[in-house]
Amino acid sequence: FPMAATDPQVLALAAQITESREQDIPLLLLKLKGILSSPSLGSEESNKIKQDLYDYGLTQYCLLVLKQDHSQLHGAWATAAQLAEILSHCCVGLEVKEDPEEFYRKFLPSVIDSLLVLGKRLQARFIRAIKDKEKQDFLQWFQIVTDAICWLFGGHIQLAARVLQNDRFLQMLITDDVETAVIMMSVLHNILRINSSVLLQVEEETLHSVLDELVYKLFSTTNPAVGSAATKLLLFMAKSCKQLVQLFTARYKGLKELLCEQWTGKGFDRDVNQLLDLLYLEQSSGKGKMQKQHEAACLIQAAWRGFQTRKRLKKLPQAVVTLQRSFRAKREQELQHLTKQKEDEALKLQMQLQRQRATRLFHERQLALLEVVHASKMNKYMQEMEEKSALTIQRFWRGYRARKIFHQQKQSLKEYKAAVIIQRAACKFLEKRRRRRPLSPWKEPKGLTDEQRLALQQKVDDYIKLHPASQMSEERSKELHMQAQAKLAQFLLRNRLDQRAAQRREALLAQVNTDVELLMNAPGLAETTEKDFGAFMSRSIPVAIKARQAHNTMLKYTRWPWWKKLGDEFMEDDVIPDDAINTELETLFIGGRK
């Protein structure tokens, strides 16, 4: 710490910051504004206080706070803007005697970079803000930060070139927002006013970027404030450096026509005329060529405006239709809302009337009951009515609960049926694949060893000894054989006769069914034709009709959608389920079978 006398306010603030928490330091640093703006201080005393603030590290504290996340500070952006103003005032007028290299080469460039970063963030917040109050606040804080930047490079002229070459400055200048664009052009005007030769000190790319943005603003906007600020900047550049006039005429050949047509009569004609005089003076030798270019530009502009007008006229019917559609939809929505309100009110009124009517009928029944029922039977009657009422309430409650449970289980039942269908299809698929699986090759059983063969032979001999076979003579065996042959011949003869009788019965039943169906479908006697007689006289016509019906049924089955044949897709290709065509083929008689 320095040994000279130090301002007590600075000492107290430094001690307080040392003992405070980190989140409370930004609010304490705001007290520097009151210390610096004390009316009792002269210029020498003010510089002495700034020197003390730098020596005690309070100025460096302000820079460190500005490098933090501004949204996390107490007071957020307002605190950051005030700290930026305080930091710029602390740096202007400060003459560091000990280690000036550190101050001028590192500290001041770091300060200007931090202020530009803060300004860029405030500009972005202002552009994204929606509410008017937020936009006003962010614009005010942005103005404070830009004023601090101007104040800083006004006190240290060497910072003007660093500001102009900083990418953040070019990003803030290249904006379509009117308010912030005017403020940034005023900052650029202050830079040129303080150091007019700074444009020749920066890189050519930076100079071209600044000039391109100014000319673009003249071309892309019709706002008088933006046009006036851009025109004054170009005029000031042209007056301060003759080399820039040559750059204007060579790089921006349509600048004079743009100024004449778009910015004449906007309230700053004096600046426009002066800039035009300088430009025309630079190119006084090429009037004929400029006239041709002017006429060509007018022709291109006329064609372009005509194209834009025709394009808008083409889009006008579509826009009108869209507007009408949205209007009708909104009106329909409002009408539906009003209709729903009226229906709700009518329903409430109807419910109220029904409630009043039911109450009145209840009281009338009670009065009639007192007149009809004897007093001694009143208790019994009331008990019966209570039981009936309880049963009615219970019945309605059970019905409501059953319906509620059914609706709850409806989805689970649907899922269960779907699972059953899927499982059935999967089982059929697995069964089909199992049937198609080739048989495993035959594996011969392992042969018996000599010991196993002897043991098995010993068991067979023991069994034969324990169970000797009964002896039968050859005559008895032949007699049994002849009896078996006679019974087999009788069985075969009887079976053949039964099969013929069954075939005859089936043929007669099928013929009877066909005749019954023909009689049921036959027309009346008055409408009978010769073709109808042929159907009864010939036996082949009904068979052909039924065959055609069976064929149509098979075609219908093959044309069914996939979801009707979900369970049949894993069946053999030549197999058709009988249930699908039984209703159509029950009475078909083909070859003596039903």
Tens of pLDDT along 339-394? 999 999 999 999 999 999 988 988 888 788 777 777 777 788 888 888 988 999 99
Q: Are residue 403 and residue 269 in the same domain, yes or no?
A: no
The pLDDT of residue 582 is 46
Would the pLDDT of 491 be above 50? yes
Q: What is the CATH number for 190?
A: 1.25.10.10
Give me the mean pLDDT over the 234-242 stretch: 80
The pLDDT of residue 592 is 38
The pLDDT of residue 288 is 56
Phi/psi for 19 (5° steps) reads: -90, -5
Tokens in use for 200? 């020749």
- Residue 322 inside a domain? The answer is yes
> Residue 93: exposed, middle, or buried by beta-carbon count in 10 A (0-12, 13-18, 19+)?
middle
Place of tokens 């063969």: 453
The pLDDT of residue 422 is 93
Tens of pLDDT along 549-560? 778 888 888 888
Dihedral, 583, 588, 592, 594 alpha carbons, nearest 10: 10
- Residue 201 inside a domain? The answer is yes
Would the pLDDT of 81 be above 90? no
The pLDDT of residue 254 is 77
In angstroms, rounded to a whole number, what is the distance separating the alpha carbons of residues 377 and 382?
Answer: 9
Give the residue with greater pLDDT, 251 vs 588.
251
Domain boundary among 344, 372, 400: 372
Give me the percent of the chain exceeding a pLDDT of 90: 11
Would the pLDDT of 569 be above 80? no
Give the residue with greater pLDDT, 348 vs 217.
348
The pLDDT of residue 585 is 41
- Residue 523 inside a domain? The answer is no
Q: Are residue 97 and residue 194 in the same domain, yes or no?
A: yes
Would the pLDDT of 263 be above 90? no
The pLDDT of residue 71 is 67
Give me the mean pLDDT over the 409-429 stretch: 89
Q: Are residue 52 and residue 143 in the same domain, yes or no?
A: yes
| Contact predicate 119/149, CB 8 Å | yes
Q: Are residue 385 and residue 362 in the same domain, yes or no?
A: no
Q: Are residue 392 and residue 358 in the same domain, yes or no?
A: no
Pick the closest to residue 245 from 209, 274, 205, 217 (CA basis).
Answer: 274
In angstroms, rounded to a whole number, what is the distance separating the alpha carbons of residues 537 and 47?
Answer: 136
Q: Are residue 81 and residue 141 in the same domain, yes or no?
A: yes
Range name among 260-264, 381-385, 420-424, 489-493 with the lowest pLDDT average: 260-264
Q: Are residue 197 and residue 317 in the same domain, yes or no?
A: no
Q: Are residue 25 and residue 104 in the same domain, yes or no?
A: yes
Q: Are residue 179 and residue 319 in the same domain, yes or no?
A: no
In angstroms, rounded to a whole number, what is the distance separating the alpha carbons of residues 93 and 420?
Answer: 90
- Residue 518 inside a domain? The answer is no
For residue 373, the Cα-to-chain-centroid distance in whole angstroms is 73
Domain boundary among 258, 286, 314: 286
In angstroms, rounded to a whole number, what is the distance separating the alpha carbons of residues 506 and 402?
Answer: 53
Q: Are residue 85 and residue 205 in the same domain, yes or no?
A: yes
Q: What mean pLDDT is reported for the chain?
A: 79
Supply the DSSP string of 339-398, one letter for each residue: HHHHHHHHHHHHHHHHHHHHHHHHHHHHHHHHHHS-GGGHHHHHHHHHHHHHHHHHHHHH
Give the residue with greater pLDDT, 59 vs 579.
59
- Residue 220 inside a domain? The answer is yes
- Residue 464 inside a domain? The answer is no
Q: Are residue 38 and residue 178 in the same domain, yes or no?
A: yes
* Domain enclosing residue 366, as ranges: 302-372
H helix count then E strand count, the chain: 25, 0
- Residue 232 inside a domain? The answer is yes
Q: Are residue 326 and residue 424 in the same domain, yes or no?
A: no
The pLDDT of residue 72 is 67
- Residue 443 inside a domain? The answer is no
Domain boundary among 372, 395, 422: 372
Range name among 1-10, 118-127, 404-413 with the lowest pLDDT average: 1-10
Tens of pLDDT along 14-73? 777 777 777 767 777 777 777 777 644 446 777 777 777 777 777 777 777 777 776 666
Would the pLDDT of 472 be above 80? no
Give the residue with greater pLDDT, 24 vs 568.
24
Range name among 210-214, 239-243, 299-303, 404-408 with the lowest pLDDT average: 239-243
Range name among 183-187, 199-203, 441-445, 468-472 with the lowest pLDDT average: 441-445
Would the pLDDT of 1 be above 60? no
In angstroms, rounded to a whole number, what is the distance separating the alpha carbons of residues 232 and 275?
Answer: 9
Pick the closest to residue 81 from 134, 122, 50 (CA basis).
Answer: 122
Number of domains in the chain: 3
The pLDDT of residue 538 is 67
Tokens in use for 42? 């002269």
